[in-house]
Amino acid sequence: MNPLQTPRGSSRQSSASGKAAAATAASSFVHPTAVVSPRAQLGNDCYIGAYSIIGDNVTLGDRVRLESHCVVDGRTAIGDDTRFFPFVSVGLAPQDLKYAGEPTETRIGARAVLREFVTVHRGTEGGGGRTSIGDDCFVMAQAHVAHDCVIGDRVIMANGATLAGHVAVDEGATIGAYSGVHQFCRVGREAFIGGYSVVVKDALPFARTVGNHARCYGLNTTGMKRRRYSAEAIKQLHRAFHLLLSSRLNTSQALERIRAEIKSSHEVDELIDFIETSKRGVVK
């Protein structure tokens, strides 16, 4: 790739308009109305739609597609085959009064889909300096990912779902429509947060957490089956959640019983570790 070659098929941009062609692979397309910094790095076969804006320190992987009116700014890297729909905004300054313009980052993995009006803000110095979204994530329209959030692979955020700052969402989790997750909370692996929920503590892995304020309603059985977990793993987790939620034991007593009764289950061990390492407490 010649990083200074004008992309074939894109229109030349006039000097009067103040626009310049970016360092772009020859096969990428930049719409003539797009504003792309000459310092941005575009991979092979990218598509930059009408009226989109790409800042100086943006790096796009191969086959990234930005539909019209997208804005990508800051120190932002986008993985291969990721697609932004109209009016997506990624990498802009966080909504944090402590942020003083320090150079922080936004990372989005491969094959992610961000639908209309999604906003993802870059990190802050006090939060680790990076906001990240993993591979194969699906973020539906109007969802918001605040500064310093860390989202694992294969996460789904439904329409209007909102993560406050410093939220960690483990792989395979689903955040339902118009739900809100409080800052510094964790959402465990394969967790399901029901629509319109308000989550102010850590949401357990493999569990269904629903409501305002949210409560845990046991194992996310449907999700476990869809992800092809074994019948034995599902059975062991059912028993663990029964002891944790329905046995009238306190959390410490329930964990002792779970350890005594359930052996050699990676998923149950993960559940126990999640509870014991929680700093905000867990939703029960």
Tally of residues, the chain: 284
As beta bridge partners, residue 218 has: none
CA atoms within 13 A on the CB side of 241: 21
DSSP annotation of 42: E
Structure tokens given for 267? 């998923």
Sign of the CA dihedral 179, 184, 187, 189? positive
Active site residue 96: no
What are the strands of the beta sheet with 168-169, ordered from one edge?
Answer: 23-24, 41-42, 58-60, 75-78, 105-108, 130-133, 150-151, 168-169, 186-187
Which is nearest to 67 in space by CA: 53, 50, 82?
Answer: 50
Considering the candidates 73, 80, 136, 148, report the single residue annotated as catalytic.
148
In single-letter form, the type of residue at position 162 comes to T
Q: Is 238 a catalytic residue?
A: no
Dihedral of the CA atoms 29, 34, 37, 42 (nearest 10)?
-20
Task: Please tell me which residue in 69, 121, 147, 166 is annotated as part of the active site.
Answer: 147
SS3 call for 144: strand
How far apart CA 195 and CA 176 sit, in angstroms, is: 4
Q: Which of 43, 49, 79, 165 is catalytic?
A: 165
**Annotated catalytic residue 165:** yes
Pairwise CA distance, residues 104 & 93, whole Å: 9
Which residues participate in catalysis according to the annotation? 147-148, 165
